[in-house]
Structure 1
Amino acid sequence: MLERSMDQTGAGVNHSTMGNPDNSPTNGSASFASGSPHVETAHPVPRPSLPVNPLAYTDSFERRHIGPSPEDITQMLALLGFKSLDDLIEATIPASIRMSRSLHLESARSEYELLQELREIAQENQVYRSFIGLGYYNCITPTVIQRNILENPAWYTQYTPYQPEIAQGRLEALLNFQTMVTDLTGLEIANASLLDEATAAAEAMTMSYGVSKTGSRAFWVSAECHPQTIEVLQTRARPLGIEIVIGDHRTFQFEQPVFGVLLQYPASDGAIYDYQAFCDRAHAAGALVTVAADLLSLTLLKPPGEFGADIAVGNTQRFGVPLGYGGPHAAYFATKEAFKRQLPGRLVGVSKDVHGHPALRLALQTREQHIRRDKATSNICTAQVLLAIIASTYAVYHGPQGLRQIAERVHCMTGILAEGLHKLGYTLGTEPYFDTLRVTVPEGKAKDIVRRAHSHHINLRQIDDRSFGISLDETVSSDDLIALFQIFAGEQIAHFTPEDVLSHCPVPCLPPPLSRTSAYLTHPVFNSYHSETELLRYLYRLQSKDLSLTTAMIPLGSCTMKLNATTEMVPITWAEFSQIHPFAPLDQTRGYQRLFEQLEEWLAEITGFAGISLQPNAGSQGEYAGLLVIRQYHESRGDRHRNVCLIPQSAHGTNPASAVMAGMQVVAVACDRDGNIDLADLKAKAEQHRDQLAALMVTYPSTHGVFEESIREICSLIHACGGQVYMDGANMNAQVGLCRPADFGADVCHLNLHKTFCIPHGGGGPGMGPIGVAAHLVPFLPRHPLVSVGGKEGIGAVSAAPWGSASILPISWVYIALMGAEGLRRATEVAILNANYIAKRLENHYPILYKGKNGLVAHECIIDLRQFKKTAEIEVDDIAKRLIDYGFHPPTVSWPVAGTMMVEPTESESKQELDRFCDAMIAIREEIREIEAGKADRQDNLLKNAPHTVFALTTDEWSHPYSRQRAVYPDAWTRENKFWAAVGRIDQAYGDRNLVCTCPSMGAYS
């Protein structure tokens, strides 16, 4: 197998001298090097040999994606005692599940030719001006933000900021986001973003239900809310037994008890209502009030917190984030401080480091699903960090005055449009508006208006047969208004221009009860960086505080931090992908549809499943959607009583949380001493709950990083008891091209495209978690209220947009197309090789906790560090922080086993980088031995004081019993390329006791 791949990829050839075997300079290069017109050579320059097929591109993406060279692979295999990758894989993966054929995928293509092909696909999309609204708006992404954040790998290749000492830059940007949201909504606390507006509203519903004391199971929703939000609420409510009551806030009198209400502000058709009296009635009835508010409008409108809202949710997309056919975008969630411990998602808080300096970290982390599991109030473990950073930086760049000017211009342009439509004889709503008008048209005229709009390359929202919605945005121009006048003028001629309208009509203004009078964005960060020079420097200051893949390997177990190649990333900012509204007509998105169809076919072939849904926009959403599909399947067969979900104790924490959200009862299954599912316990639990068994959730390879030999038996056992097998796809990077979940018995599997298929983690989001299902479950795939997707008996929408975060799907499409069947298989083989190489190099220094039948691991390994607490008073966190001094992001800490590290190197890392990591771990082991031997103090040592900062190094006093040099330059690499932690060890408990979740005063940093 090694020989096979070496032949295919050109292995064994020195690519730096291809076409020039003896490494001698060509005539041209020699002339330039010497500065003379001609240099005689002792030997004639050999002619470069032609490739086998001179008509085909020879550039191989596979060798750029896979880190170890063929020579490195040979050496690594030798250390492990294998002659070939084939031998290694045969010894690692059970023969009963290995594929006997290659994947049926197209051959790999070069980066150049693939981008040409993708450009052709993109051009099948038509970029119309969309005035559809429904919570999505075109906007202007400042180029300084696009180039230096969205297109910058130093931002998009970061991991979730669980190691805050090396994540201070993005944590500050997220603190800016939280401050922006609390200021604009008038509420006290906000999280670091959610997935989209609809799921944020669903989180508000479940939070309200959890804290309400009414005893009601009814949630009231205004009919004026966006239809996709109502649909997601109904999907979320159904398995929880919550009743959704839809009505008109002007007539609802709370005769029926409800635990909460949801209002849209402005309403979906643009009307702005004074909700103060309604909120008072809701509170009198014991209900919590959630307001879905447009963030830009809140620069002009009274904020929800000032008229009685308990929770505010919404989308920050129009703050500089492209439409992207639906995502990814950062939703926001704000509430009162009294509910801080019920707040879903992540929360950035201010604490202090060991030196007493302010430092940021994720606060109240006991809310994380891996701690609370089936007691968690939410399964959300993904923020939309990269998009939240773009949105908050947009606010930093424009500042309060700039945002208000944008809002005032949008409002003014909407007023001009309203006056022009009045002149043309159209009837508009009587309520105040911000950016959206509802236009009533004569009976039978709607089709003509749609036809004329399309002739102008404009999309409108057709609300019904007699009315349209028109939503303007910051990109709207005078020419756009002229085109809209012509569209609605029909056979008439609009004898006026926007300038004429403006000169004869006053600038529209909002009535005093609705107008904002309170200040916002007063913190210096929103008032200091309005020139590009200053913003650029600010962004680079933040960037320098964060460790990303641009710095070093991020060897996080279960998180697959692999190469996010530039070629994969390039298309996401193409207008044909980024500037399309999620509810644009399908005939304008043929390129997207073609890409979706191909990606679904490829993922189906890779997994063995019959159907794929691309709608879930995070791994947690994929889990949830997959379980709802199983639930719907059982209900379709009359098995409504099947509600028990078996989950191994080693499972991801989102698994039990998702099961509870899907209305299931979680029953834990034990693991044996080798980390595998305890078959005896599984059989007993499955038999005990045979009549109620709905599903088993299983991660494969196991959460402990091992290919369980009994996986087929496990799946058969569940099927025999009438249940379905849900496979968590977090570890799919160990399977692609070698085995397929559907082939060995899984019925559903979610795929983390932000892991296995190269979508970047973006500092903690975006993510994508599509699901694959077996043939009998295809009819139940999720639908959408505005676009025809999913199965005939499909579950309701789980995301606001029909294809989730569509604009990042080209990343995975490019990755699969560039690698081809052989490249994908080779990537998996090398991922397994790299993990076993690390395990082998470290096994004489640290115990490797779990191994398979032949003493091998899958694509990750668990290093057991628990003994050091007894021998040297060293905790796992001490080793993690010391790794920062060596220039590494620590691996996954204390999960799935407390006191351990889970290491996943991925196939993208070179042998040199793997050795550097192993050398660092071995050196740290020697530092621990010094403590064990009494040569180093048990409390004042290199590990307990890590990470060491510039401040610690340059302070006048150095009282530690080791040198500054050992502290900050522990090996030669750190002298060449030192990454400095921005702060010292952070006091987590202090921050939770003194919770501050918005930007502190600048004096705090002095």
Structure 2
Amino acid sequence: MTQLEQRPQSAETAIKFSPFVQRHVGPNAADQQVMLQALGFADLDAFVRAVVPAAILDAEPPVASMPPGCGEAEALAELRQIGSQNKVRRSLIGLGYHDTATPALIKRHVLENPSWYTAYTPYQAEIAQGRLEALLNFQTLISELTGLPIANASLLDESTAAAEAMGLSFAVCKRPDAKRFLVDAAVLPQTWAVLQTRAEPLGVVLELAEPEAFRWDADVFGVLLQLPGRCGRLWDPKPLIEQAHAHGALATVAIDPFAQVLMAPVGDLGADIAVGSAQRFGVPMAGGGPHAAFFATRDAFKRQVPGRIVGQSRDAEGNPALRLALQTREQHIRRDKATSNICTAQVLLAVMASFYAVHHGPDGLAVIARRMVALRHQLESGLRQLGYPVAEQCRFDGLDVHCPQAPVVHRLASEQGYNLRVLPDGASPEQAEGFGISLDECSDSEELESLLGLLAAALGVTPPPPLERGADDETLSGAALAAALPGVPLRQTPWLQQPVFHQHRSETELLRYIQRLVSRDLSLVHSMIPLGSCTMKLNAAAELAPVSWHGFAALHPFAPAEQLAGFERMVTDLERWLAALTGFAGVSLQPNAGSQGEYAGLLVIRAWHQSRGEAHRDVCLIPTSAHGTNPASAVMAGLRVVAVACDEQGNVDLADLRAKAEQHADRLAALMVTYPSTHGVFEPGIRDICDCVHAHGGQVYLDGANLNAQVGLCRPGAFGADVCHLNLHKTFCIPHGGGGPGVGPIGVATHLLPFLPGHPLATCGGDQAISAVSAAPWGSAGILPISWMYLRLMGPHGLRQATAVALLSANYLARRLDAHFPVLFRGEGGLVAHECILDLRGLKRTAALEVDDIAKRLMDYGFHAPTVSWPVAGTVMVEPTESESLAELDRFCDAMIAIRAEAAAIESGAIDSLNNPLKRAPHTLAAVTADHWDRPYSREQAAFPLAGQRESKFWPHVARIDNAFGDRNLVCTCPSVEELAELPSAG
């Protein structure tokens, strides 16, 4: 009995493998044996020894550093006990995070629905029309909210969105000496920290000041205003925006979405860019994320917008269809010239926010916003009545008060279950000089009475009389609203008039709308998603369940540390387990995407060089096969990219690496290398690669996108890497969410521990920490329970088993398909790692077929395409993962082989080279059932090419989409009523 066998048949193996392992790993023991036999191996141990280089293969997983695996009930009970250590209080801290009332329908049918959370990024748009429509609704919401015509499909958080705005302003500025960016003194503390992180490597000079004290000179390229400011102040930014424009600077406004509901759109007031967080629109605080940030701008900057834009185009039948627009902005094409390294959005959270807006409509959103203003007005009046020094100024939903009684206020508030903002930011309650209160959607008159009562007690005076019931409702409008927001230009014209925001107010209609969109998307609910480098594995229900628990979902990221004991325990466990699995000394969970992990890791390396008096080291070696975010991240980190060649086998060319390392020895900062390689093989020379870089003074950054081939078998920190980012949304089971959320923590060697990222409002990072890379101290904290559950359920031996089966599945698939689509790269012994690249380039010559033809035809077979034309044009990269059964692997192989037979019919002349099932794929239900059929192949072949498809058929919602037409005619918001009337029917 080997340590990699799955079924526990003895006391020894029962200890090694938890009951959950057989739920996570798709192929059972018998299936594994079939696959091993096909590959010529007697057992899984022998197979693993043949795939993984002996120089890096560990004899066993890190059993001493992790608990053994366990069953679902045990893991859930343990995490529930940990979560019970959190003390959930009513947090009125604000600072960009507010309590919200998530409609139960959206919580159950979106957040907790695997049809939404297991889908992949909508690159194959024909089978992603549901997500794309929900994202188009989000973009429409943001565009209408801000008055700016171009909005993207979300960014990672408000702070990084503000940093992206600064980067865009800097990039489009035509004045070479313009290096100064002015920042409102009322900016959120975490945004200021992230701006500092971004600015320094780019040579941007930040200047923090009150807007009226901004110093305008020719060196200013942009300005950031925060509305309302962290103190709650709201004001008319138009005169200052005009002043910025007069000096040739772009104006960015970070705007609270509910304030923008009432206030005139900042785009109408002259803003060039608007950013913010959609968290208040129905997304729980969740310890700081994940939350969908928004980014809107003028049409002139549409090609510089970071992230993704959903746009409308048309399909082959002339019907409207959605897809991602302007995809040449993507990092894998533009590389070190990319506008940013952001390739991840917060799709699931943007979808939630969009449905929240659909649920409430513009009138409902206005009611909520007006109620917050009314309550703030009453709170302010009550404070003055009690004698608190409240400055005269216009505010939105909150206020700050500086007073000597502040420590008492905070103590009484805590005793009554409230968290107020401690002033100054970052101070302890005992040393507070004031307090801040930010009201939210969940506030009401009863809460105000409670707050005013404790504030009266802090002064030792009689509380004010009870508030008049009903005074906090939607009656605050017209003159009363203008009086409550003096000097603020208010929204005057109707907005969100598109039908989608008015037709689904009843739960019945909204439920049906959500399910209608669900039916248009392919996800893991339907079939395997064999995307190379993306690792679409099982996201178990037991792993996802704790995300909705109140003890985690309701936490404010800046709540007092003593209230977060359970959360900190979970974080500590996760950091320790991840460090053990990767061989590093420590881990930071702050980066909230793989791209952020890359950036953070390079900044840590850069800080280490600076600490040694070697700040001049600025060269980053990157193999030509690297993921496009690698060079984009390096440029953002202030490094200079030097390409390293790859050989014919896809490996790093060691001779070229040595030559480049020698050439740049005096300035070498780092090498970025993906392992296993981007070409899907374990490079045997990885230790030599690391040794070469270290010998020339550099550090090794290992891109952990392919860590699913290593967990439990080998450790990057043990074979030479200094930094590695870990995609928790790939290897460690956080689902992709249709293109986000993600988590991209970094593991680092001992000497880099002091430089792990810190945060201005929490204790984290090293004693020489780089400043924050994300808004929240622990990034997307709300989804960390997923990875904690996965690791706890699997245990070290289960993780090793999963990795071994992932390798086995990829090699089995490569063996079955090689005769039909040659496997382009192999490692020693002719084996691949956890993914393989299939060469389709010959079909272009023999059958006039492009790789997209195969990708679209796969939809007719019920599959999402593998990764298309990356890292080699004209190929597909396939990754089956450990979670897919042998039956599903064979079904995919059968589909690919059948498609090859269809291509052979073209090659032989049996079917037309232009009018055939591949060129006209995918086939919609409308096309197949139409009265007219003008194709020289049967409807049966079009729609049901595999046996058994009639029992379970996924229909693409639209025919093949014309991307070029959509880019030439960019439409990225929902059509109006008038435009809808002119559109042809989609059937």
TM-score, normalised via structure 1 length = 0.94
Q: For structure 1, which segment, 266-275 or 381-390, has the greater mean C-alpha deviation from structure 2 after superposition?
A: 266-275
Give, in whole Å, the separation in 2 of the partners of 1:187 and 1:53. Answer: 61
Match of 1:425 in 2: 387
Do residues 467 (structure 1) and 434 (structure 2) align?
Answer: yes
- Aligned match of 2:276 in 310, 314, 322? 314
CA–CA distance in 2 between the matches of 1:871 and 1:946?
19
Structure-1 separation of matches of 2:744 and 2:704: 9
Structure 2 partner of 1:5? 5
Distance 1:97 1:1005 in 2: 60
Cα deviation for residue 845 of structure 1 reads: 1.1
Q: 1:815 & 1:663 partners in 2: Cα distance?
A: 36
The counterpart of 1:83, out of the listed 42, 63, 69, is: 42
Distance of 1:229 and 1:53 partners within structure 2: 50
Q: Deviations over 1:85-142 (max 9, x none)?
A: 1111111010000112331221111100111111100010011000000111000000
- Alpha-carbon spacing, 1:939–1:68, altered in 2? closer, same or farther (3 Å): same
1:482 deviates by 1.7
| Partner of residue 139 from structure 1, selected from 90, 93, 100 | 100
* Partner residue of 2:665 out of 690, 693, 701: 690
Where in structure 2 are the equivalents of 1:555-954 lying within 5 Å? 555-954=530-929
In structure 1, what is the equivalent of residue 980 of structure 2? 1002
Q: What SS class does the counterpart of residue 499 from structure 1 fall into?
A: coil
Partner of 2:504: 529
Change (3 A) 1:9 1:702: farther
Partner of 1:244: 206
* 1:389 pairs with one of 338, 351, 361: 351
1:553/1:909 contact within 8 Å kept: yes
SS across alignment from 1:415? helix
Q: 1:252 Cα shift?
A: 2.0
How much has 1:7 moved relative to structure 2? 5.0
Name the SS for the 1:974 alignment partner. coil
Partner of 2:702, secondary structure, is strand
> 446, 450, 461: which is aligned to 2:406?
446
SS in 1 for 2:484: coil
1:498 correspondence with 2:457: no
Secondary structure at 2:463's aligned position in 1? coil
Give the corresponding residue for 2:429: none
Closer/same/farther in 2, CA of residues 9 and 527 from structure 1, 3 Å limit:
farther
TM-superposed CA distance for 1:832, in Å, is 0.1
2:496 maps to 1:547: no
Paired position in structure 2 for 1:456 = 416
Conserved 8 A contact 2:18-2:795: no
Partner of 1:285: 247
SS of 2:421 mapped into structure 1: strand
Say whether the 8 Å CA contact 2:16–2:68 is kept in structure 1: no
3-state SS of 1:5 partner? coil
User: How do 1:269-284 residues align onto structure 2 when only pairs under 5 Å count?
Assistant: 269-284=231-246
**Whole-Å separation in 1 of the counterparts to 2:714 and 2:587:** 18
Q: Which runs of 5 or more structure 1 residues have no equivalent in the other structure?
A: 11-50
Tell whether the 8 Å contact from 1:293 to 1:314 is kept in structure 2 after alignment: yes
CA contact (8 A) 2:382 2:464 kept: no
Q: How far apart are the structure 2 equivalents of 1:942 and 1:169?
A: 25
Structure 1 residue 1005, shift from structure 2 partner:
5.3
The structure-2 alpha-carbon separation of the partners of 1:896 and 1:501, relative to structure 1 and needing over 3 Å to count, comes to closer
1:114 to 40, 59, 75: 75
Q: Note the C-alpha offset of 1:446.
A: 1.3
* Amino acid corresponding to residue 1002 of structure 1 in structure 2: L
Q: Name the counterpart of 1:206.
A: 167
SS of the residue 1:250 aligns to: helix
Letter in 2 for 1:102: P
Q: How far apart are the structure 1 equivalents of 2:339 and 2:143?
A: 22
Distance 1:113 1:956 in 2: 57
* Distance in 2 between residues matched to 1:234 and 1:815, nearest whole Å: 35
Q: Tell me the distance in 2 between the aligned counterparts of 1:581 and 1:741.
A: 34
Q: Judging changes above 3 Å, is the alpha-carbon distance between structure 1 residues 101 and 434 closer, same or farther for their aligned structure 2 residues? A: same
Q: Which runs of 4+ in 1 moved over 4 A?
A: 1-4, 51-54, 56-59, 500-508
Secondary structure at the aligned position of 2:524 is classed as: coil
Return the match for 1:477 from 418, 427, 444.
444
Residue 457 of structure 1: how far off its partner (Å): 1.0
Asked whether 1:336 is paired with 2:298, we answer: yes
Matches within 5 A, 1:141-220: 141-215=102-176, 216-220=178-182
Q: Is the 8 A contact 1:619 1:767 kept in 2?
A: yes
CA distance in 2, matches of 1:164, 1:386: 16
1:268 corresponding residue in structure 2: 230
- The match for 1:99 is 58
CA distance in 1, matches of 2:803, 2:317: 44
**CA offsets, 1:172-205, max 9 Å, x none?**
0000000000000011110000000000000000
Whether contact under 8 Å (2:410, 2:435) holds in the other structure is no
What secondary structure does 2:837 align onto? strand
SS of the residue corresponding to residue 918 of structure 2 reads coil
CA distance in 2, matches of 1:990, 1:7: 54
Could you tell me whether the CA contact under 8 Å between 1:9 and 1:62 is conserved in 2?
A: no
Q: Give secondary structure in 2 for the equivalent of 1:312.
A: strand
- Looking at structure 1, the residues matched to 587 and 94 of structure 2 have their Cα atoms a distance apart, in angstroms, of 28
* 1:392 alignment partner, SS class: helix
1:713, distance to aligned residue in structure 2 (A): 0.3
1:489 and 2:456 equivalent? Answer: yes
Give the gaps of 5 or more residues in structure 2.
Answer: 425-431
Letter in 1 for 2:163: A
Q: Secondary structure at the match of 2:468?
A: helix
SS at match of 1:313: strand
**Aligned AA (1:470):** I
Q: 1-side partners of 2:268 and 2:895: how far apart?
A: 54
CA displacement 1:927-983 (0-9 Å, x = unmatched): 010000000100000100000001211222211110000000001131110000000
Sort the Cα spacing of 1:1005 and 1:582 in 2 relative to 1 into closer, same or farther, 3 A.
Answer: farther
In the alignment, structure 1 residue 965 sits paired with structure 2 residue 940 = yes
Quote the Cα distance in structure 2 between the aligned partners of 1:255 and 1:59: 66
**Following the alignment from structure 2 to structure 1, what is the Cα–Cα distance between the partners of residues 486 and 299?**
30
The change in CA–CA distance for 1:818 and 1:59 in structure 2 (over 3 A counts) is closer
Q: Distance in 1 between matches of 2:972 and 2:75?
A: 45
Amino acid at match of 2:96: G
CA distance in 2, matches of 1:537, 1:923: 36
User: C-alpha separation between the residues in 1 aligned to 2:557 and 2:795?
Assistant: 30
Q: How far apart, CA to CA, are the structure 2 residues paired with 1:256 and 1:921?
A: 60
Please give the per-residue CA displacement for 1:621-673, whole angstroms capped at 9, x wherever unaligned: 00000000000000000101100000000000000000000000000111100
Secondary structure, aligned partner of 2:949: helix
Q: 1:135 to 1:708 in 2, by over 3 A?
A: same
Structure 2: how far apart are the matches of 1:965 and 1:983? Answer: 18
Question: Which amino acid counterpart does residue 980 of structure 2 have in structure 1?
Answer: M
Aligned to 2:190: 228
Aligned-pair distance for 1:512?
6.0
Does structure 1 retain, via aligned residues, the 8 Å contact 2:75–2:793?
A: yes
Q: CA deviation at 1:52?
A: 11
How far apart are the structure 1 equivalents of 2:819 and 2:471?
79
User: Normalized against structure 2, the TM-score is what?
Assistant: 0.96
Q: Determine the C-alpha separation between the residues in 2 that align with 1:757 and 1:479.
A: 44
1:348 and 1:363 in contact (8 A); partners too:
yes
Q: Is 1:232–1:800's contact at 8 Å kept on the other side of the alignment?
A: yes
C-alpha deviation, 1:478, in angstroms = 2.4
- Letter of the aligned partner of 2:886 in structure 1? K
- Give the length in aligned residue pairs: 963
Amino acid at match of 1:545: R
1:496 to 1:289, Cα distance in 2 relative to 1, 3 A:
same
Going from structure 1 to structure 2, the CA distance change for 1:515 and 1:678 (only over 3 Å counts) comes to same
